Amino acid sequence: MSLKIKHLNGDTTFLLTFSPTEQHPALNRYGHPPGTFTVLVDPWLSGPSTMWHPKFLLSKHTVPSCISNLSEIAEPNVVLVSQDKPDHCHEPTLRQLDPTSSLTNVLAMPAAAKKIRGMKHFHPSHVHALPVYSSKDEDSIIRFYIPPLTPGGTSGEATIAYVPAKMDVSGLHNAIGITYRPPTAAPLRAQHTPPSSTCSNFSFPNPQQYQLNNMPPTPPDTPNQRPRSLSASTNPSTLSTASSTSPALSQTSSVSTVPTTSHSLHAHSPSFHSPSFHTHTHTHSTSSTNSSRHHPRPAKTLSVIYSPHGVAYSPHVSHYATTHLVPQAALPLTTLIHGFDRVENPWYMGGNVNAGLPGGVEIAKNLMARCWIGAHDEDKENSGVSVLKIRMRKYGLDEVRELVRREWNGGGGGGCDVRALDCGEELVMRS
């Protein structure tokens, strides 16, 4: 399976495309390979971003976005909005989305969801406020059921969780966790069925055919075997190679999916190794060794943490990791999307704005992130009283890599590949 991350602007708008390992010749009704799941993050393409009044805060891009309109990309399964601030929740850009789409759901932190509903652009049933993640509340995880690739295959699942900082005066600091377990096709021996059941004739269902509370629970990869602690189950010295076929990444995305309420998960201790990275023009990729085509291992789970302003690893991210990522077999973390630069305001203006490198390196180290992509570090044109007393500590890419190298495995290097994607640049990771 693979994850393609494309940076759509110079700041913090990303398009994430999760794809299954298996190749499939047919396209679903949206013109995309079945089994893919796409997330559009914090869309702001052009025009100013104004908070309350231009005299308070006015921001403008200094780097043109790589697309001029969201109609230039395929309809995403999810539009994810992490803040109600206009550089994340940008009304003119959100209005570029098709309000009649039966595929796209808007998931936003509560204040942003209220703001988006107030636009009256989307049908209210397509805008959902993200509940605060709690390991004691199964419904605090938003789940998407992904149909099998062929009859007899297993279904996949994507999950989204919202982890905000507690008692955060600024309301800026949170993390949003995304996981993806791909659907599979039936084994070759099981596909010798009449033509009406073959892959080419299989009809993928409409999202509206699925009922919210009738989704099957996540099937276990192995019998229940919950690790006692995160550190014990993810110690680099005990990691082994997780081999799976590395597919060519498709250029389009989406599958019929629908958010469902949560089901209890089966525990499975993760097993991965640090990948090697191969750089190509404009597109980067990483892959592990291939497994046997006749005896594939159970699919693992890709995982992303998106935290443009940062949030403390402990207790916020660590709790989510131990109670959700570990049972999902989603560690090491596939990708951390987190800012490099640290930004501070006076305490009476809300204090810390961006946690930057010091906060990001703690998350990357503890979750053994395979990759860390910088976010929200564009040198925007800012004006207004809210930025008069801003203090910023900028970190260059080499400086970030050096600190990560020193922190990682006691200075032994390896593990985490640090990237700053240019506008329009893509990173493809394979597992």
Q: Are 145 and 261 in contact (CB under 8 A)?
A: no
Determine which of 62-76, 108-122, 327-341, 383-397 has the lowest per-residue pLDDT on average: 383-397
Reply yes or no on whether the pLDDT at 272 is more than 80: no
Rounded to two decimals, the pTM is 0.74
pLDDT (mean) for 277-305 = 52
Q: What is the pLDDT of residues 165-208, one digit of tens each?
A: 987 777 788 999 999 999 988 886 655 444 333 222 222 233 33
Residues 6+ apart with CB under 8 A from 137: 131, 262
What pLDDT band is residue 23 in, cutting at 50, 70 and 90? low
Tell me the pairing of strands 127-129 and 105-108: parallel
Q: So what's the pLDDT on residue 408?
A: 73
Average pLDDT over residues 292-298: 42
For residues 201-231, b (16+ Cβ closer than 10 Å) or e, as one string? ebebeebeebeeeebeebeebeeeeebeebe
H helices of 14-77, in order, are: none
Q: What percent of the chain stands above pLDDT 70?
A: 63
412 Cβ partners below 8 Å, 6+ apart? Answer: none
The winner for highest mean pLDDT among 2-16, 272-286, 345-359 is 2-16
What's the rounded Cα separation, in Å, for the pair 353 and 370? 26
- Hey, which residues does 162 pair with through a beta bridge? 132, 176
pLDDT of residue 54 exceeding 90, the answer is no
With both helix axes pointing from N to C terminus, report the angle between 397-407 and 356-366 in degrees, rounded to the nearest 10.
40
Cβ burial of 105 (10 Å; 0-12, 13-18, 19+) is: buried
Share the mean pLDDT of the chain. 74
The single-letter code of the amino acid at 72 is E
Query: How do residues 371-397 score in pLDDT, each as one tens digit?
Result: 999 998 766 666 566 666 678 888 989
